[in-house]
């Protein structure tokens, strides 16, 4: 299942690359009608052999920690902070999707991805009649994120 790959790669990225501790993985909202978004959200379209949208949404605490880690402790000017946060959300989802592609059906052959898109003004995404939303909330020792796949049932299972 696509979501399992996304969860695994997210956990590995946060633990091994960022040095964070995973406290909990919650998949109780596995199939939902709508997806609630935090202020710091990015998405990537996955096309070709698959047809889905992946979305990652960070709470304030986690994105602040990731910015600190990406900037290697360097201070970020207040007027640059939002741009840096957007860059970090895009880089994180790009990395997770890049790592997950080989675990997708057919080892990811024939799969294409779009550049990351930042979503600033939306508070939720709703599914269309033929689509499904599968999500997991991953809590770390520095906040949480949700990782989701939106697409037809055949694409995300």
Tens of pLDDT, residues 89-126: 999 999 999 999 998 878 878 888 999 999 876 677 77
Based on the number of CB atoms within 10 Å of its own CB, is 82 exposed (0-12), middle (13-18) or buried (19 or more)?
A: middle
- Indicate the class that CATH gives domain 2-156: alpha beta
For the chain, the domains span 2-156
What's the whole-number mean pLDDT along residues 13-35? 86
The pTM of this model reads 0.89
Enter the DSSP assignment of 93. H
The answer on pLDDT for 127 being more than 70 is: no
Report residue 30: phi and psi, to 5°: -55, -55
The 10 Å Cβ neighbour count of residue 8 is: 15
pLDDT in tens, 51-99: 899 999 999 999 999 999 999 978 889 999 999 999 999 999 999 999 9
The answer on pLDDT for 156 being more than 70 is: no
Output the pLDDT for position 83. Answer: 93
Q: Do residues 125 and 35 lie in contact, with contact meaning Cβ atoms separated by under 8 Å?
A: yes
**Which H/E stretch holds residue 143?**
strand 143-151
């Amino acid at each position: 299942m696509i979501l399992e790959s996304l969860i695994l790669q997210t956990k590995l990225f946060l633990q091994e690359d960022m040095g964070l501790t995973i406290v909990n993985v919650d998949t109780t909202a596995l199939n939902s009608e709508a997806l609630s978004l935090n202020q710091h959200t990015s998405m990537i379209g996955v096309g070709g052999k698959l047809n889905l949208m992946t979305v990652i949404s960070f709470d304030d605490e986690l994105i602040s920690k990731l910015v600190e880690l990406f900037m290697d402790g360097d201070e970020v000017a207040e007027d640059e902070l939002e741009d840096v946060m957007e860059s970090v959300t895009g880089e994180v989802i790009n990395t997770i999707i890049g790592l997950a592609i080989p675990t997708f059906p057919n080892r990811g052959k024939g799969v294409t991805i779009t550049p990351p898109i930042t979503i600033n003004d939306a508070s939720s995404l709703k599914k269309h009649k033929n689509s499904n939303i599968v999500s997991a909330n991953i809590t770390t020792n520095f906040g949480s994120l949700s990782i989701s796949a939106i697409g037809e049932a055949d694409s995300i299972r």
